[in-house]
Amino acid sequence: MLTRLLGPQHRHLWFWIFTGPFVVGLFVFSYLPILWSLALSFFDARNTVTPTDFVGFANYATVLGDAAFTSSLGTFSVFALFIVPATYALSLALALSVNRLRFARAFFRSVFFLPTACSYVAASLIWKMSIFSGVRFGLANTVLRWFGADPVAWLSTAHPPWYWVVIVSVRLWLQAGFYMVLLLAGLQRIPGVLYEAAAVDGARPGWQTFRYITFPQLRATSVAVLLLLVINAFQSFDEFYNLLSSARGYPPYARPPLVYLYYVALGQGQDLGVGSAGAIVLALVIAVVTVAAARWSGLGRKET
């Protein structure tokens, strides 16, 4: 019996020795908080994580009845519809450019990937205090002055809301390199004989080969990248909190759902029950959107 549990040459034992700490950490720091959050969502949990008053679905009714939360979901659905294809297009353009290089490919791959190592907090502060500071001598306003344009208060709530330019630009800078590496790996897996056969058949290099060979062969990688982008769009927090938390008149609908939940659960009221209910609702929204996107893209469908 012991031999069966340990496996041949104690392979089962060594498997659990190496993977056990990660499994325990995953359960303690991921699955257990999710289960506890689900439990808290059914209790009146103000300023406590050990509530006793069961309220059923009252917390869900509260969070879904709050216009700030529902409007943030709508706003960030539109935000996802913009930022997801924009990031994908930029990442694909970078991957195609790097893949065509014959020299210094590793150098440019590292240069474009390097922003991924920067934290969202540090990048947001650089964007806020240096590039888009809103003063005359900020980098963005200096460039505008070169073209004769007036300085712009980038992080103000005036119309048009220029803070979206700041948020989108920092997010593209931080994310494009990571997804470029994923798409570059997909490009390098495309057999070269396909391009040789296309050249023999008279296909011109460029748009024709990209449309009929490169893009279809990247389908699996593209679906994975798009799903990751959708999930990350709804999980936005750091850049919004650091760029706009101190802005006066900051419209509630522009807050991402995670910032809203942060203020509800850890703000002045510390309503952990409503915050947990909102987290569960957000998780369900992400799951539904992800599954819908996967079904629409044909993920898992057998090729014919």
Q: Which residue has the tokens 């079904």?
A: 295
Neighbours of 163 (CB within 10 A): 23
> Residues for the chain: how many in total?
304
With cut-offs at 50, 70 and 90, classify the pLDDT of residue 156: confident
Burial of 262 (0-12, 13-18, 19+ CB in 10 A): middle
CA distance 294 to 225: 11
Q: Is the pLDDT of residue 142 over 90?
A: no
pLDDT for 250 equals: 61
Look at the domain 57-297 and name its fold.
MetI-like fold (1.10.3720)
Burial of 12 (0-12, 13-18, 19+ CB in 10 A): middle
Mean pLDDT of the chain, nearest integer: 83
What average pLDDT does range 63-91 have in this prediction? 88
What average pLDDT does range 48-70 have in this prediction? 87
pLDDT in tens, 235-286: 888 888 888 765 555 666 667 888 888 888 887 778 888 989 999 998 898 8
Of 256 and 14, the one with more pLDDT:
256
With cut-offs at 50, 70 and 90, classify the pLDDT of residue 179: very high
Q: Is the pLDDT of residue 300 over 80?
A: no
Q: Using alpha carbons, list the distances in angstroms from residue 166 to 21, 114, 174, 242, 294.
A: 40, 20, 12, 12, 30
Q: Is the pLDDT of residue 304 over 50?
A: no
Cβ atoms of 113 and 177 closer than 8 Å: yes
Structure tokens at 79: 């935000």
Query: In the chain, where does DSSP find H-type helix?
Result: 2-6, 11-26, 32-40, 58-64, 67-100, 105-113, 120-126, 139-146, 163-188, 192-200, 207-209, 215-217, 219-234, 238-244, 257-266, 272-297
What average pLDDT does range 278-301 have in this prediction? 80
Cβ atoms of 52 and 43 closer than 8 Å: yes
With cut-offs at 50, 70 and 90, classify the pLDDT of residue 78: confident
Segments making up each domain of the chain, as ranges? 57-297
Cβ atoms of 288 and 212 closer than 8 Å: no
Q: Is the pLDDT of residue 190 over 60?
A: yes
How much is the CA Rg of the chain, to the nearest whole Å? 24
